Amino acid sequence: MQKRARTLLVWLHVVTSVGWMSQAVALLALLLYGMESGDVHAFEMARFLDHRVLAVMANISAFSGMMLSATTPWGYFRHWWVLAKFVITVVQLYVGIFILSGNLEAAAQGRVTVWMPVGTSLMISAIAFQAWMSVAKPWGRTPWADPKVKLPTASTAMFVVALVVPAADFAVSLHSGGPRPLFMLVTVIAYSITRAARGRNRSSDASGRGTSGRPARPGATAPGPR
């Protein structure tokens, strides 16, 4: 059951990532058409596409990817390719929410900037690069990865939560008329903090296990000098 739930989360991440990239390509096409033709309706459609479809796909893709890292032995900071994907995703979300959306709103009102297609092209390139990293898994472990500690895979219940939470946020977004990833944000932060605390405990236990300065088990005595 655990493997099946994890597979469903992987499937959700792949589908929404592909959706994010395809909507970004469609957004770029609308922006280029609007700038070439001067048709303000193209920018209105681009704004609608970004607000109602692309943002939803981006939020669920980011959430499912972060939860896959947090609920499996990969972690966030143990491998360079996972860390790179994490940083790129956070930057993309920031740019999309605080920069691109505002410029699309201005474009729908007739104030067009040439940086919009540039930013959208960079978004497409970043998603494609992340897809390559997921396949190639380059660069090995980070210096912060303790080789003595292997983080366990989360329980089936946690994978089920990771599948249900996006549906709850999507229902809220339909009611509110815009993307509201509140439950996803709370889940990622809360579970990541809990996971990090458990990882530190395991790392401390592993670093002291079987050494001469600390008994290997309660009640055991450390070996004397030879």
What band does 225 get if pLDDT is binned at 50, 70 and 90? very low
Q: Please report which confidence band the pLDDT of residue 208 belongs to, taking 50, 70 and 90 as the band edges.
A: low
Q: State pTM to two decimals.
A: 0.85
- Name the residue with higher pLDDT: 216 or 187: 187
User: Which letter does DSSP use for residue 96 in this model?
Assistant: I
Confidence class of residue 202 from pLDDT cuts 50, 70 and 90? low
Enclosing H/E stretch for 154: none
Read off the pLDDT of each residue in 176-182 and give the average, rounded to a whole number.
83
CA-based nearest residue to 58, from 27, 104, 103, 29: 27
Mean pLDDT of 2-8: 93
Rounded to whole angstroms, how far apart are CA atoms 108 and 112?
Answer: 8
| Highest-scoring range by mean pLDDT, 9-18, 91-100, 166-175, 206-215 | 9-18
The two three-digit tokens of residue 157, written as one number: 């219940």
Mean pLDDT of the chain: 87
- Type of residue at 111: R
pLDDT score at 98: 84
Residues 6+ apart with CB under 8 A from 49: 23, 26, 27, 30
Q: ∠ at Cα 82 (52, 94), nearest 5°?
A: 35
Pick the closest to residue 131 from 61, 50, 59 (CA basis): 61
Burial class (CB in 10 A: 0-12, 13-18, 19+), 206: middle
CB 81 within 8 A of CB 139: yes
Q: Give residue-wise pLDDT tens across range 43-88.
A: 999 999 999 999 999 999 999 999 999 999 888 989 999 999 999 9
pLDDT of residue 86: 94
Residue with tokens 């292997």: 150
**141 phi and psi angles, rounded to 5 deg:** -85, 155
The reported pLDDT for the residue numbered 129 is 97
Q: What pLDDT score does 215 carry?
A: 46
pLDDT at residue 220 in the model: 45
- pLDDT at 25 > cutoff 80: yes
